[in-house]
A and B are shown apart, each in its own frame.
Chain A
Amino acid sequence: MTQIKKSLPYIIAVVGAFIAAGIFIAAIQYNPFEAYKTLITTSFRTPNGFIQTLMKWVPLTLTALAFTVPLSSGKYNIGAEGQFLAGAIGATTVGILLADLPPALLIPLVIIAGIITGALWGLISAWLLYQFNINEILSTVLLNFISFQLVDYVATGPWRDPSAGAPTTIAIGQNGYLPMLIKNPPLSIGVILMILVAIGIYFYTNKTTSGYELVATGANPRAAKVHGIDTRKMFLLSMVIGAAAAGLAGAMEVSGVQHRLIEGIHSNFATLGLIIGLISRGKNQAVPFVAFFIAVLEVGASAMQRTMMIPSQVVLIVEALIVIFILLSDLIKRRQK
């Protein structure tokens, strides 16, 4: 019963956001009920819809964790975009250069390359913070913009696929494709990997000594430091772990979905990841569930734009409103004490 009581403010927040957004949708001359019906049910109407939802769920969970893990130590990683792309570049590079290796070798190499390059991209910001005390919000965002240029360079360079319209590389070696759980509609084992990662991160933050230090650092860095915890190391570690998660998402998008590096492959994953992280209020264990919900909304949003001509940005507004309402409900809880 208390579990329901605890979740009540959040449920009210979500409903409130939907109502507010519904008013907005009506104001721009569309039918909110039709819109919501499409938004929420598309994922469950067809097997294709459900598989699409699962495939979106994977990168969304990982980019959200990329935000929440550093947040546990008190740092704001806004660079999941760049770290995702760095991971995608790393995976593509290995996938193209070593295309002749057998799958048993190539697949792990591709994935690990993505994790490492994503982690390295995050390490730049983490190191700037560690060494020069540079605010990580700024450095991660600036690195995002740099990564866009890098992707453009790779996608229009020697590996360019001339037959494609937008800047895209040639495909990575077939041996590098992630194995599929289901062939049609396509669902890769990325889902299983992601779930393992989420569980691993949960175990790390809640059960290990290092995880304790991470949480303590985020709760009060000064007190943590004075009691022996190397807080600067914790900031760095948390950012690298988050960046690695984003890099993994990028690698899986290349290896399991697109099989090549496309400009714009990062889609809106990072932005949504941030939103999911905020809605989860930084709790790693809530992230997969919230991410699934957002994945449902996103799949519904594309359908909504296709069939009803409602711009898909509307769903972004719904999601932003949910964040705001949840933060407000936090406030109300605080006042009640």
Chain B
Amino acid sequence: MTGIETFLVEFLKLTFLSMVPFVLAGQGTMLGGRTGVFNVAQEGIMLTGASVGFLVGYTSGSVFVGAIAAMLVGGLFGLILAYFTTTLKMDQFVVGLALFFVGTGLSTLLPKLVLGITLTPPLIPTLKNIPVPLLSKIPVLGPILFNQNVLVYISVLLSILLWYLLFKTNLGLRLRSVGENPKAADSLGISVNRYRYLTTIIGGMLIGLAGAYLPMVYTGTFTELMTKGRGWIVIALTFFGGWSPLIILLGSIFFAGIEVLSYRMQVGGSVVPFQFLNMLPYIGTIIIMIFTFGKSRVPAFLGQNYDRERRTL
């Protein structure tokens, strides 16, 4: 393999590795959005997921248990979001922002409480790669696609499963109708509340897991505010992905690619000051939004609460 080939393989392998938080959190956001719940708390949920995932993983000795804990915490956030918006009918943005604060503060507070103030944070062992037998031996594609950690495989399979569920089954038909026209769905006996709770809680679990991925795979430890805005980028990503699982998967690969590229360019030595390279993912997101915001197909009742007894003339 030539130098360029090696570079490309390494680059793509890293991209697939890095797409996971975007995919998981993106699908989590998409699920809630499909029933009309617009979650804007991702950044806070991911941070708490990272914090809890790390702390539980460290104290229990098992990364797996840590991941489960992160999912439970994420699900709890989802439950709170669902309760305040669906049952209490409070403004979705405001509740989401409040949860973002709580999540951010909590994620910083918990390590201080559990570990105390320490200068050298402890480490957990990071996830190992699991090569797929036979397939991982294919030249070029093998190492990129089939020699990754388990969550990479899960992300891809999850996206395909969600696509099938949403668009090829009766369950998906009902679920989507809740976000397209909750009054119509309600009149046909579909429980708007139940679907909203379900998708928001499961969505929260996925977002929590996305956060835990960062210590589990990247650094082995938790650092304050380590998500660096990925949670917000996920929101743009879901719009860009038309709230569709497969396009979100593609979009995640794209965003991960920008992230890896800017990192690569810094390490590789570049004329551009590294701060501006760091800006690339965010600027890239803005540019994508310029091209997709008008045209994206959004669930018609996204962000709006539903009250059966509200009278409209």
Contacts and interface: CB of A to CB of B under 8 A. Distances in A.
Contacts of B113: 28, 311
Contact of A146 (B98, B279, B290, B293): B279
B229 interface: yes
B275 A153 contact: yes
B88 interface: yes
A149 B112 contact: no
A137 interface: yes
B229 A142 contact: yes
Contact of A327 (B94, B101, B228, B289): B94
B290 A128 contact: yes
B283 interface: yes
Nearest to A328: B88
B93 A76 contact: yes
Contact of A278 (B98, B109, B273, B283): B98
Contact of B273 (A143, A153, A317, A331): A153
Given A137-B40, A145-B282, A153-B276, A314 B109 contact: yes
B105 A320 contact: yes
A134 B290 CA distance: 7
Contacts of B279: 145-146, 149-150
Nearest to B111: A311
Interface string B285-297: 1100110011000
Contacts of B90: 327, 331
Nearest to A142: B282
B93 A137 contact: yes
Interface string B89-104: 1100111011001101
Contact of B275 (A150, A274, A311): A150
Contacts of A146: 279, 282-283
A307 B284 CA distance: 46
Interface stretch (B60-68, B213-221, B232-240, B244-252): B232-240
Contact of A141 (B94, B102, B232, B239): B232
Interface residues of A, number: 36
Contacts of A128: 286, 289-290
Given A135-B293, A152-B275, A153-B276, A327 B98 contact: yes
B289 A132 contact: yes
A324 B98 contact: yes
A316 B289 contact: no
B223 interface: no
A133 B93 CA distance: 17
Contacts of B101: 271, 274-275, 316, 320, 323
A138 B88 contact: no
Given A28-B113, A274-B97, A327-B94, A317 B102 contact: yes
A247 to B, nearest CB: 20
Interface string B58-94: 0000000000000000000000000000001110011
Interface string A122-137: 0000001000111101
Contact of A138 (B97, B102, B109, B235): B235
Interface in A292-337: 311, 313-314, 316-317, 320, 323-324, 327-328, 331
Most chain B CB within a 10 A radius of its CB, from A146, A153, A317: A146
A139 interface: yes
A139 B286 contact: yes
B278 interface: yes
Contacts of B229: 141-142, 144-145
A78 interface: yes
B304 interface: no
Contacts of A149: 275-276, 278-279
Nearest to A327: B90
Most chain A CB within a 10 A radius of its CB, from B113, B229, B282: B282
Contacts of A314: 109
Given A142-B285, A331-B88, A313 B112 contact: yes
A-B complex: 9 closest residue pairs judged by Cβ atoms? A313-B109, A153-B275, A149-B275, A316-B105, A142-B282, A141-B232, A145-B229, A311-B112, A149-B278
Given A134-B289, A135-B239, A145-B229, 16 more contacts: A128-B286, A132-B293, A133-B293, A133-B294, A137-B235, A138-B236, A142-B232, A142-B285, A144-B229, A149-B278, A153-B275, A278-B98, A313-B109, A316-B105, A320-B102, A327-B94
